[in-house]
Amino acid sequence: MSSLEIHGQADRFNVGPLEDISFTVVCGGSSSFQTQLFRIEKYRNEAATPFIETVPVTSTIDTTTERAVHATCLRPFLEVPDSASALTGAPGVTVGALIRPDDPEASLQGVVTAWDTSSSSGVGLFLQKRKLTLLVGDRRATLELSLPEELRPALWYEVAASYDLTSGLGAVFMRPCTSTREERRGSQTTTGHRRLEQLPPVPMMIGTSVKYVSGWMAAEESFKGTIESPYVIAKSTPATDLWGLHARRLQAPDLVAAWDFSEGLSEGGIHIDQLPDVIGSFPAHCVNAPMRAVPGHRSCIAGGIGTTPESGAIHLLDRRPDPERWKSRMVLPVPQTLQAGFYAVRLKASTVEEFVPFVVSPATEPDDPLQQTQPESH
């Protein structure tokens, strides 16, 4: 565990009424810190015994900040805003993508999901402990279905999963993207059964899943590797038809969304974070800067996969920060009634504290029209 520390910095030193001042706080060795506004009445800077006399001032910055609020997701991913109801009322669901795992050994790596980890509900295609896994749940029961064949790192796979609400049948499929003969020999499909009443409303995500903590947020674990052209269909697909479904995905009559990661790329290397889907209803948004313009899998076209262009994939790089040393940002709107003078925000984590000083300038008085020079009359 890192040593206890807290440091802060303001984005300005002088601020006026009705203006905002922002503070960046770095905290280490503690899971929370407190902030409070003070007015500085007296200050004496003596090397032996520095002295500061302060008076607390009630403000919106008087609060406790928890680390969990700012470190809920440690990896890049793609969110699909306003998609929680995308599968509401659907008789089933099929999800799929092309993937190239970097670390298949890690657990609960979401590929394409609408899965809530906090309640074990929704649907999601995951890679966990080298096994491709379908999770489907409705808060009362869960179907967990995994392929026996283990996925290997640095290899491309076509993966898909399907679930039918009426029959309760689920299926998981994968095939390595090599030659057609090896694909047929290496392809795997497994099925399972559990009846669920309905699919709960959960936002769609790419590269991770979600959890509900006073609102939807990304789960801690996410996919480690490269994802290309994911899709979601609001209908189940027979297990025998999952082989090569990626090439036929855009012709599916119940296609909800399909994302082409080659869209929005710039020759200058500055790529947009908003990625439209081919249907137009559910654009995906890049979070925490996943690597864009990554070469996709093109050698599989002969095998019937039909992938997106050469730079049509996204790589989710591990950018895991030090969990014991975290950063937060807060904003103090200066009220019009706050008296001009010297102020400081006190940052306190357990037994250590620091003051971040700033000055509130007097409000600018409007010009008095009665004191303006009047033109001479002739």
Average pLDDT rounded to a whole number, residues 167-190: 78
Are both 185 and 306 inside the same structural domain? yes
Are both 165 and 254 inside the same structural domain? yes
pLDDT at 226: 94
| Residue with more model confidence, 337 or 215 | 337
- On whether residue 376 sits in a domain, the answer given is no
pLDDT at 171: 97
pLDDT digits (tens, 9 = 90+) for 205-255: 999 999 988 788 887 788 999 999 999 999 999 999 999 999 999 999 999
Are both 165 and 16 inside the same structural domain? no
- On whether residue 377 sits in a domain, the answer given is no
pLDDT digits (tens, 9 = 90+) for 91-137: 999 999 999 999 999 889 999 999 999 999 999 999 999 999 999 99
pTM of the model: 0.65
Q: How confident is the model at residue 318 (pLDDT cuts 50, 70, 90)?
A: low
Q: What is the CATH number of the domain that holds 18?
A: 2.60.40.1930
Neighbouring-strand partners of residue 64: 34
Are both 186 and 61 inside the same structural domain? no
For 191-223, letters b (16+ CB in 10 Å) and e give ebebebeebbebbbbbbbbbbeeeebbbbebbb
pLDDT digits (tens, 9 = 90+) for 58-92: 999 999 988 654 433 457 899 999 999 999 999 99
**244: containing domain:** 77-316
Are both 259 and 220 inside the same structural domain? yes
Are both 103 and 216 inside the same structural domain? yes
- On whether residue 372 sits in a domain, the answer given is no
pLDDT at 256: 97
Fill in the amino acid letter for 277: D
Check whether 377 has a pLDDT greater than 50.
no
- On whether residue 152 sits in a domain, the answer given is yes
- On whether residue 283 sits in a domain, the answer given is yes
CA distance 311 to 293: 5
Answer yes or no: are the C-beta atoms of 205 and 216 closer than 8 Å.
no
Mean pLDDT (the chain) is 83
Tally of domains in the chain: 2
Q: What are phi and psi of 246, to 5 degrees?
A: -55, -40
Both structure tokens of 233: 């269909």
| Residue with more model confidence, 269 or 354 | 354
pLDDT digits (tens, 9 = 90+) for 15-70: 999 999 988 888 888 888 999 999 988 766 655 555 678 899 999 999 998 865 44
- On whether residue 206 sits in a domain, the answer given is yes
- On whether residue 368 sits in a domain, the answer given is no
CA distance 163 to 233: 11
DSSP class of 325 = E
CA distance 107 to 127: 7
pLDDT at 299: 40
Are both 63 and 100 inside the same structural domain? no
Average pLDDT rounded to a whole number, residues 6-16: 87
- On whether residue 369 sits in a domain, the answer given is no
Average pLDDT rounded to a whole number, residues 344-356: 91
Average pLDDT rounded to a whole number, residues 271-300: 80
CA distance 264 to 276: 9
Angle subtended at Cα 183 by Cα 181 and Cα 184, rounded to the nearest 5 degrees: 70
Check whether 302 has a pLDDT greater than 70.
no
Q: What is the CATH number of the domain that holds 217?
A: 2.60.120.200
Q: Which of 285, 316, 347 is the last residue of a domain?
A: 316
| Residue with more model confidence, 267 or 20 | 20
* Percent of the chain clearing pLDDT 70 (strictly above): 81
Are both 245 and 262 inside the same structural domain? yes
Are both 269 and 353 inside the same structural domain? no
| Complete DSSP assignment for 69-87 | HH-S--S-EEE-TT-TTTT
Q: How confident is the model at residue 187 (pLDDT cuts 50, 70, 90)?
A: confident
Are both 137 and 155 inside the same structural domain? yes
Are both 221 and 338 inside the same structural domain? no
Are both 242 and 207 inside the same structural domain? yes
| Residue with more model confidence, 320 or 79 | 79
pLDDT at 231: 98
